[in-house]
Amino acid sequence: MKIGIPKEMKSKEYRVGMIPSGVRLLVESGHDVYIQKNAGEKSGFPNSEYKQAGAVILEDSKEIFENCEMIVKVKEPLPEEYDLLKSGQILFTFLHLAPNKKLTEILLEKKVTAIGYETVEDNGRLPLLSPMSQIAGRVAPMVASYFLSMHNKGMGTLIGGSTGILPSKVLVIGSGTVAKNATKIASGMGADVIVMGRNPHSMKSIEESMSANVSTLYSNAYNMEKVLPLVDIVICAVYVTGEKTPQLITKKMLSYCKKGAVLVDVAIDQGGCIETSRPTTHDDPVFEVDGVLHYCVANIPGDYPLTATQALSNATIPYIKKMADMGWKNACLKDEAIYSGVNVAGGFVTDEAVANAHKMDYHMLKDILYHCTEFGDTL
């Protein structure tokens, strides 16, 4: 199979879809790998390392898309890449289609087989989302602390307090991977942390594994309204596989927040869990609504590429190799994790959450695969 890795186009996105060790594994298995010139440079991998691993370096993304059967990226295609997509092409990347109807329509129109890292599920785990969730969770308290400073229009409090001065209070909404990592870092920085979730097993695990400055609280609107006036930082860490994130903090609730408080909406990729959130970039990460700062960068790990690229690529390469070796259809039939990751195929929405989000028809992937096998059709 011909596999292509284009350079990411999203603002301040420094990650790359594959590292040289992954290239070498694929080439040794008989596949051809093409990578755009300088795509891995900011992740610490120069062109020479990719060449040594067996990749062919191409000048621009157009050549990558034209030549390759599978495109491996980090972030979803941007509008300037839409015309490069080809019918029958496999796209393996973070998609986050539930809040992005336009991209969903393009993938349907182009009849691309689009497999989202964030929906690949293996025995209840999300193995491709998890490493990026760890990083985003660990970064969230650090950026929140930075924007809490007065020169950033925050309230001017130090997250860990000082001698004789109480530390900041941090609210973490959610109890999954992002939440656990955000709690670990925020509590380590000395903050008093409240974790608000609905999964009693996850919250119990957090209580048992974290320090004494961490407590848990059941998540509902009543408790949210009681807690928001007390906290300096809110980290939104909610994710429901493939679905648009529920809005747990309404615009009205902003009136309960302290002026200069910082809200970090890590869930912004899936639409965000704050009503007033909108995606921002590393160039302009923060905006203010009713005196409350919102940090809504949609690619937080992209600013830490030497760590994030390796973590992501190490997780994705086994799935890439399996699809390259077997073809994506056979891989889906053999591997439920890959099957679960297919959002769109052959002009059909095959992820129920995406179909519901956009009020589109949903088609079970197994029916499409059966149709192709039975009648010799191709996707």
Q: Count CB-CB contacts under 10 A for residue 162.
A: 9
What's the one-letter identity of residue 128?
L
Which residue shows structure tokens 């997780």?
315
Cβ pair 251, 279 in contact under 8 A: no
The pLDDT score that the predictor gives to residue 379 is: 57
DSSP state of 365: H
Domains 2-126+305-375 and 136-303 share a fold: yes
- Catalytic one among 96, 294, 358, 363? 96
The pLDDT score that the predictor gives to residue 371 is: 67
Read off φ and ψ for residue 226, nearest 5 degrees: -75, -35
The pLDDT score that the predictor gives to residue 288 is: 97
Quick one: tokens of 14? 């420094």
Look at the pTM and tell me if it is higher than 0.85.
Answer: yes
d(CA 319, CA 321): 5
Closest to 40 measured CA to CA, from 30, 32, 27, 49: 49
Let me know if 201 is a catalytic residue: no
Closest to 294 measured CA to CA, from 233, 227, 230: 233
- Catalytic one among 269, 294, 358, 363? 269
Element housing 114 (H / E):
strand 113-116
d(CA 331, CA 115): 12
pLDDT tens per residue, the chain (379 residues)? 999 999 999 999 999 999 999 999 999 999 999 999 999 999 999 999 999 999 999 999 999 999 999 999 999 999 999 999 999 999 999 999 999 999 999 999 999 999 999 999 999 999 999 999 999 999 999 999 999 999 999 999 999 999 999 999 999 999 999 999 999 999 999 999 999 999 999 999 999 999 999 999 999 999 999 999 999 999 999 999 999 999 999 999 999 999 999 999 999 999 999 999 999 999 999 999 999 999 999 999 999 999 999 999 999 999 999 999 999 999 999 999 999 999 999 999 999 999 999 999 999 999 988 765 543 455 5
CATH number, span 2-126+305-375: 3.40.50.720
One-letter-per-residue 3-state SS of the chain:
CEEEECCCCCCCCCCCCCCHHHHHHHHHCCCEEEEECCCCHHHCCCHHHHHHHCCEEECCHHHHHHHCCEEECCCCCCHHHHHHCCCCCEEEECCCCCCCHHHHHHHHHHCCEEEEHHHCCECCECCCCHHHHHHHHHHHHHHHHHHCCHHHCCCCCCCCCECCECCCEEEEECCCHHHHHHHHHHHHCCCEEEEEECCHHHHHHHHHHCCCCEEEEECCHHHHHHHHHHCCEEEECCCCCCCCCCCCECCHHHHHCCCCCEEEEHHHHHCCCECCCCCECCCCCEEEECCEEEECECCHHHHCHHHHHHHHHHHHHHHHHHHHHHCHHHHHHHCHHHHHHEEEECCEECCHHHHHHHCCCECCHHHHHHHHHHHCCCC
Q: Count CB-CB contacts under 10 A for residue 328.
A: 23
Cβ pair 104, 96 in contact under 8 A: no
Let me know if 269 is a catalytic residue: yes
Fold of domain 136-303 = Rossmann fold (3.40.50)
Exposure string (b/e) for 81-94, b if CB count within 10 Å is 16 or more? beebbeeebbbbbb
What is the separation, in whole angstroms, between the first and last Cα of the chain?
Answer: 16
Read off φ and ψ for residue 99, nearest 5 degrees: -95, 10
For the chain, the domains span: 2-126+305-375, 136-303
